[in-house]
Amino acid sequence: MTDGQDKSSRALDSFDRAILRLVQADNKLPQRRIGEAVNLSAAAVQRRIAAMEAAGVIARNVAVVDPDAVPLTITSIVEVQLINEHAPTVAQAQRLFLATPEVQQCYYVTGGVSFVLVIVTTDMRAYSALTKSLFAEKDFIASYRSLIALDRVKADTSIIIP
């Protein structure tokens, strides 16, 4: 791989895809064990992981925290409708959602709403205050609809690697 090559131009081979499947499940898996699983040396695994990190294929290494283990008891999926879809309005909403730590995921979508958000908060009082500041007090937001999660059935952050 050459300098300046980005994730869109780095071709992933079968070894890379196998490595990605493993590190998405457990990014602390020793490279020796990854190598054994994909039939490569630990050094080759290390080089491939470093190359995928440099290319942006592996965007970051994070810890997935169980919300039940910390006081984040309310998860809400929120549909947000903007007053219009003009670029400045969309950009303003994107900046707001990016700057809000409680917004765990944000998708700009089609199909009758502008954005779909996944929001976590400590309790309903905090959620109510957040929705007021995020949506009700913003003149560029036409409406929003909250869907409060009753149960977390699946929350896999892995990307399916063919």
- Percent of all residues in the chain with a pLDDT value above 70, rounded to a whole number: 94
Q: What are residue 76's DSSP bridge partners?
A: 119, 148
pLDDT above 60 for 7: no
Measure Cα distances from 97 to 81, 94, 110, 146, 158 in Å: 13, 5, 17, 15, 22
Q: What is the pLDDT, as a whole number, of residue 3?
A: 43
- Total-model pTM: 0.77
Q: Is 118 exposed, middle or buried (0-12, 13-18, 19+ CB in 10 A)?
A: middle
CB atoms within 10 A of CB 57: 17
CA separation (Å) from 85 to 80, 108, 142?
Answer: 12, 10, 11
For residues 156 and 87, what is the distance between their CA atoms, to the nearest angstrom? Answer: 31
Average pLDDT value for residue range 105-129: 96
